[in-house]
Chain A
Amino acid sequence: MIGKLKGQYGSGIREANSYLGQNYMVVEPSIVSELLQILRDREQFDYCVDVTAVHYPDREKQFEVIWILYSFPRNERIRVKTMVADGESAPSAVSIWATANWLEREVYDMFGIRFDGHPDLKRILLPDGWKGHPLRKDYGIIQQDQEWVQANLGIESGQ
């Protein structure tokens, strides 16, 4: 499968490897959307397990967005990863797997990564008016949106 995909995309697939028996692909952001569609339609990865991200503040492109996919017919998992810079957006997979809807909203909520083509991208766990994205590495463990807390909870601090 990887060989076929590599033939099709060439250098678009930067790395296709396996660590501790788990397969993953690192791909260019430009081909993600098409690749995910192909993985579902042609390679039968019909179940999107998770969409998540990791923040690497030292890298030029700070965020790694990860799709964890599973195929019922093949009983196999694969992770697709791509890099996104701060302020850039990733392609949405909601039209491919409906389940990506809330998962992408959570990534947006926690990291501030926008997803192009998401039907209703807004915060999901934190309140709508909250400032900041807590899972970024520069967000402190006890940091909070003081302004929001004071205005909405009527207390000085949540700590």
Chain B
Amino acid sequence: MGAGQPRDRERPMTDRTTTDQMTTDPDTRLSHLELNQPDKTFLDSNELIINMGPQHPATHGVLRVILKLDGEKVLGTECVIGYLHRGVEKIAENRTYTMFNPYVDRMDYVAAVSNGLGYCEAVEKLLNIEAPPRAKYIRVILTELNRLASHQLWLGTHALDIGAMTPLFYTFRDREEILKIFEKYCGARLTTHAFRIGGCQYETYEGFERDVTKFLDFVPPKIDEYEELLTTNRIWLERTKGVGVISRADAIALGVTGPVLRASGVKWDLRKAQPYAAYADFDFEIPIGVNGDTYDRYTVRMEEMRQSLRIIRQAVERIPEGPIMAKVAKVMKPPVGEIYHSIEAPKGELGYFIVSDGSTQPYRVRVRPPSFVNLQALEVMVRGALVADVIAVIGTLDIVLGEVDR
């Protein structure tokens, strides 16, 4: 050791604790959840505050997490969000109902079709109209394709975060086929603006059914392929089993929804619980997990992909003929009142609370974003875990910051 270098041994222990300045004590915030307290170590004076993000490849966007660490162990986290805040709810108050429709695509931009479905259905309820059956079937087909695309993107990036690079290429390759169908249908691949209030603007293109059926035959072996790479992969198991556990009771108390809730053993899916669009017409299962860990969330989402395919196949086979738009006035003036409508988006319960004052513009639009609420559970899921697990848990929560921040 060189003469100029400080020697740890000679430095008093107390000098190291200079960074303990978290503004909030996580113990008091969620104390009634009976969290497992991490074991104290003899070095527990060595709390270290580390900043992760907002520019970090594993935070899936501009999420900043302040980690309170004891060595590798996470003692607490604090999420700093809002970097992508665009004031979507404020914009809504200054647009007509129709004009606001494309904006919702920009929240959860990897599942734009779902956002549009929720918004259109909410306004339709407020107007007391219903989309024609054919439009509902088209909506189901596109929404389920989008769920699949969203789950594929989740799987690719989540696996990449954990260190498996191959699934990313596989999932993006196959997701491309879905985006091609979107592009052929409405011209856009990502922010599709596929639906209109009252139905759909576009009739399906020539060969739509053929393309979708072809995709339905194409993709199941590919999903098997993803599973082959991961499901029994030892590294994958080590990194996901028992990681980021959230109990059934905690999950409900924290209001998490979607695959995260189902992996904790709650068999609840809005498509079954309060069917919307044409979901009541189709047979499908709700996959659930047992342990509420990252691995269970993985298996739940993998099974959801297969169930989505089942729904799409039934919808394509039974798609009725008929109009695709209900009778809607050019200038929409919903009667004074309020509505809350929610759908099962790929991330969880996506709700729209709309207040109408009888004018052409909504008085208030509140979006209940699944990612925002699910992200709150991060704290509970990573306490006592390792830093590497934080990466896994952020991935498994499947958040999209565009929706968290709105």
Residues of A within 8 A of B (CB): 19-20, 22, 24, 46-50, 52, 54-55, 66, 68, 72, 75, 77, 79, 95, 97-99, 101-103, 106, 110, 119-120, 123-127, 134-135, 139, 141
Contacts and interface: CB of A to CB of B under 8 A. Distances in A.
A53 to B, nearest CB: 9
Given A20-B128, A48-B255, A135-B89, A119 B373 contact: no
A127 B81 CA distance: 9
Contacts, number: 100
Nearest to B272: A75
Given A20-B125, A22-B340, A52-B366, A97 B253 contact: yes
Q: Chain B interface: which size bin?
A: 35 or more
Nearest to B89: A135
B368 interface: yes
Contacts of B126: 20
B40 interface: no
Contact of B373 (A102, A139, A141): A102
Contacts of A101: 29-30, 376
B373 A126 contact: no
A106 B94 CA distance: 20
Interface in B57-81: 81
Of all A-B residue pairs in the complex, the 3 with the closest CB atoms, nearest first, are A99-B255, A125-B82, A50-B368
Contacts of A55: 364
A142 B324 CA distance: 37
Contact of B268 (A72, A103, A106, A119): A72
A135 B85 CA distance: 13
Contact of B91 (A95, A119, A124, A141): A141
B351 A20 contact: no
B39 to A, nearest CB: 24
Contacts of A141: 90-91, 93-94
Which of A48, A52, A106, A123: most chain B Cβ within 10 A?
A52
Contacts of A52: 353, 366, 368
Given A49-B340, A68-B368, A124-B82, 13 more contacts: A20-B125, A49-B342, A97-B255, A98-B255, A98-B376, A99-B254, A103-B373, A120-B29, A124-B81, A125-B85, A125-B406, A139-B90, A141-B94
A49 B254 CA distance: 10
Contacts of A19: 337-339
Contacts of B256: 99
A75 B273 contact: yes
Contacts of A103: 373
B72 to A, nearest CB: 26
B296 interface: no
Interface string B87-112: 10111011000000000000000000
7 contacts: A19-B338, A47-B255, A50-B340, A66-B353, A72-B252, A101-B30, A125-B85
Contacts of B372: 102, 106
A47 B340 CA distance: 15
A108 to B, nearest CB: 13
Contacts of A127: 82
B376 A68 contact: no
A125 B403 CA distance: 12
A145 B85 CA distance: 14
B399 interface: no
B32 interface: yes
Contacts of A106: 372
A20 B339 contact: yes
B134 to A, nearest CB: 24
A12 to B, nearest CB: 21
A72 B254 CA distance: 14
B28 interface: yes
B141 interface: no
B274 interface: yes
Contacts of A77: 340
B146 to A, nearest CB: 23
B24 interface: yes
B390 interface: no
